[in-house]
């Protein structure tokens, strides 16, 4: 297919059918996009989605087995941070240098890994605050409308940007494209560095962190992160990070964080890519982050 027409109607491949991946597939289905989920086994049963307004939709998602994907232009990875490299390893025989890769997960550290493995592929990093919950494998509830922040890593051809950005912007709107997505990722990292381990350690819903007894700990965690961010030349104050954390605590008060759920269901957590990432950057910069260190150790023990 000609490059231009391929970009006009790109084929999206979404790895897995987890909560956010499933939601993206549903949006692709609604928008009439050319998409496929890359899944472990076929065939795919009827998928039931209840959208945020309470309306139910049933459809059979397009899917291919991950070991035999149909051709794609844009590969979306809404998987856990620690799964990114193994998924790319599995898909390596099918990934060509012009394929666009999009990362969408909690935590940081995978951009560096992907750039090393696939230095020539256009790369997008994204973060979303959409909420979705899967009570079982074939049912999905859209639990919260959020915002999506996206950015290209490195310089990218303008034609490619103009073709791809509107397509991705429509998926989980409103979408904000950033010149420096790392700043948005750090801000989200601060939110996850507080909410995820604290809710998992103390067995809480997100909203319970609004209790005054957590204030000092939240401030200390945010202060350490803002110190690291400032050393990396981001102009940020810990009060901004604390405010962001408090907003998410109240907006997601009834939810259990992903790390809470991971521990509950005895799954691996993303701690190494969340507080672990903060600690690795702090170590490089010779900054002490004892509060983040303590959370990492507590989660490692619980895992």
**Partners of residue 14 on adjacent β-strands:** 37, 76
In the set 106, 121, 226, 275, which binds ligand PAF (CB under 6 A)? Answer: 106
How far apart CA 82 and CA 86 sit, in angstroms, is 8
Is residue 292 at the binding interface for ligand PAF, with CB under 6 A as the rule? no
Is residue 185 at the binding interface for ligand PAF, with CB under 6 A as the rule? no
> Could you tell me the smallest distance in angstroms from the CB atom of residue 111 to ligand PAF?
18
Catalytic status, residue 205 = no
The torsion angle over the Cα atoms of residues 189, 87, 103 and 220, rounded to 10 degrees, is 0
Stretch that binds ligand PAF, among 15-23, 166-174, 189-197, 281-289 (CB under 6 A): 189-197
Is residue 195 at the binding interface for ligand PAF, with CB under 6 A as the rule? yes
**Partners of residue 123 on adjacent β-strands:** 101, 153
41, 16 in Cβ contact below 8 A? Answer: no
How far apart CA 17 and CA 61 sit, in angstroms, is 9
| Contact string 114-133 vs ligand PAF (x = CB under 6 A) | ---------------x----
Q: How many residues does the chain have?
A: 303
Nearer to ligand PAF, 125 or 163 (CB): 125
Where on the phi/psi map is residue 126: left (φ > 0), alpha (ψ -120 to 50), or beta? beta
Is residue 252 at the binding interface for ligand PAF, with CB under 6 A as the rule? yes
Is residue 206 at the binding interface for ligand PAF, with CB under 6 A as the rule? yes
> Could you tell me the smallest distance in angstroms from the CB atom of residue 161 to ligand PAF?
27
Which alpha helices (H) appear in 51-117, and where do they start and end?
84-91, 110-117
Q: Are strands 100-104 and 74-77 parallel, antiparallel or unpaired?
A: parallel
Is residue 191 at the binding interface for ligand PAF, with CB under 6 A as the rule? yes
In the set 11, 121, 255, 292, which binds ligand PAF (CB under 6 A)? Answer: 255
Is residue 269 at the binding interface for ligand PAF, with CB under 6 A as the rule? no
How far apart CA 298 and CA 288 sit, in angstroms, is 17
User: Footprint of ligand PAF on residues 221-250 (CB under 6 A)?
Assistant: 248
Identify the active-site residue in 17, 80, 188, 281: 188
Q: Which helix (H) or strand (E) element contains residue 34?
A: strand 34-39
Number of residues that bind ligand PAF (CB under 6 A): 12
Nearer to ligand PAF, 192 or 226 (CB): 192
How far apart CA 129 and CA 131 sit, in angstroms, is 6
Catalytic residue numbers?
188
| Chain residues that interact with ligand PAF, rule: CB under 6 A | 106, 129, 191-192, 195-196, 206, 248, 252, 255, 257-258
């Amino acid at each position: 297919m000609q490059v231009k027409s391929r970009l006009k109607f790109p084929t999206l491949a979404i790895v897995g059918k987890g909560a956010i991946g499933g939601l993206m597939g549903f949006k692709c289905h609604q928008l009439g996009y050319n998409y496929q989920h890359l899944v472990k086994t076929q065939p795919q049963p009827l998928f039931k989605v209840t959208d945020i307004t309470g309306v139910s939709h049933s459809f059979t998602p397009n899917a291919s087995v991950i070991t035999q994907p149909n051709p794609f232009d844009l590969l979306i990875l809404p998987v856990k941070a620690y799964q990114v490299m193994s998924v790319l390893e599995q898909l390596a025989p099918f990934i060509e240098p012009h394929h666009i890769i999009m990362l969408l997960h909690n935590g940081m550290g995978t951009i560096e890994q992907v750039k090393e493995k696939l230095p020539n592929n256009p790369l997008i990093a994204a973060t979303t605050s959409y909420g979705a919950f899967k009570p079982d494998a074939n049912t999905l509830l859209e639990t919260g409308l959020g915002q999506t922040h996206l950015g290209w890593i490195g310089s990218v051809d303008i034609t490619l940007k103009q073709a791809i950005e509107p397509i991705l912007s429509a998926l989980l709107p409103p979408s904000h494209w950033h010149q420096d997505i790392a700043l948005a990722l750090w801000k989200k990292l601060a939110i996850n560095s507080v909410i995820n381990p604290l809710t998992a350690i103390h067995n809480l819903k997100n909203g319970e962190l609004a209790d005054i007894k957590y204030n000092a700990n939240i401030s200390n965690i945010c202060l350490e992160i803002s110190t690291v961010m400032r050393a990396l030349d981001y102009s940020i104050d810990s009060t901004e990070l604390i405010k962001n954390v408090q907003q998410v605590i109240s907006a997601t008060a009834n939810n259990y964080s992903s790390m809470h759920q991971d521990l509950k269901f005895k799954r691996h957590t993303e701690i190494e890519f969340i507080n672990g990432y903060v600690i690795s950057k702090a170590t490089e910069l010779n900054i002490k982050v004892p509060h983040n260190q303590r959370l990492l150790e507590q989660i490692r023990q619980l895992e």
